[in-house]
Amino acid sequence: MSNVSIIIPCYNDEQKLAQLLAQIQYLPRTPHEVIVVDGAASQSCQEVCHEYGANWLASGPCRGRQLLTGAAMALGDVLWFLHADARLPKNPITLIKLTLEKGAIGGYFKFRFDAPRAWPAVFLEPAIALRCRFGIPYGDQGLFMTRQAYVAAAGHAPWPLFEEVPLVKGLRRLGNFVALDEPILVDPRRWQRDGWWRRTCENRRLALAFAWGHSPDELAARYRSHITHFNHENNEA
């Protein structure tokens, strides 16, 4: 398996996207292509992609549909999905290829908070690792898989939240979907903005509501309402 396609959904996050695309350019082993699917269809995102040699696709603001669009356009036989605010380990593409050569159909990276870290990260990171082992690793952990496995598992769900849940369940039924020891660094800004424990509790509430049958569209609206309310509180403070 020689060709890795990186697919990145983005929505008004050009600064972080530029940092990620710059890092990808200087990896020891580079991908076959980088596809950015822009949910805001903005000129500024298009310009960032042009600067760093990434393919830009316009889309509506639904992460599941953005990921499906990128996967449909990708030419690689390995698909690697990243969030725009991720920071990568030193040689991730070599690690992905070695993992697949050993017989895995895909996998995900360890969750680790990027700087600036706060003391709750020490407790949250092992809890997230445990949740991933027995539950679902989410998209911010750099999910990767063969194209064949992605198609067989029916790809991402066309949802704004929890779009990776049916995909990961399908991949695990198909074969060995492995947890890597190498971390991807996750931007802590949402936890800083909302409060570390408050953000974590809200994430768990959303996940439980999804498990109880609430629709992803309903939960996405609830999440947006939460952010609006929190920003309003901060503006009044």
- When the pLDDT of each residue in the chain is averaged and rounded to a whole number, the result is 93
What's the pLDDT band for 225 if we cut at 50, 70, 90?
confident
- Evaluate if residue 72 carries a pLDDT over 70: yes
Question: How much is the pLDDT for 223?
Answer: 80
d(CA 22, CA 48) in angstroms, rounded, equals: 10
Q: The whole model's pTM is what?
A: 0.94
Question: How much is the pLDDT for 234?
Answer: 53
Work out the number of other CB atoms within 10 angstroms of the CB of residue 140. 20
d(CA 151, CA 129) in angstroms, rounded, equals: 26
pLDDT digits 0-9 by tens, 85-139: 999 999 999 999 999 999 999 999 999 999 999 999 999 999 999 999 999 999 9
Out of 9-23, 62-76, 210-224, least confident range: 210-224
pLDDT digits 0-9 by tens, 27-47: 999 999 999 999 999 999 999
CA dihedral 118, 81, 216, 40 (to 10 degrees): 90
Extents of the domains making up the chain = 4-187
Q: Take residue 13 and report the two structure tokens written for it.
A: 């996050």
* Higher pLDDT pick, 157 / 226: 157
The CATH topology of domain 4-187 is: Spore Coat Polysaccharide Biosynthesis Protein SpsA; Chain A (3.90.550)
Work out the number of other CB atoms within 10 angstroms of the CB of residue 160. 22
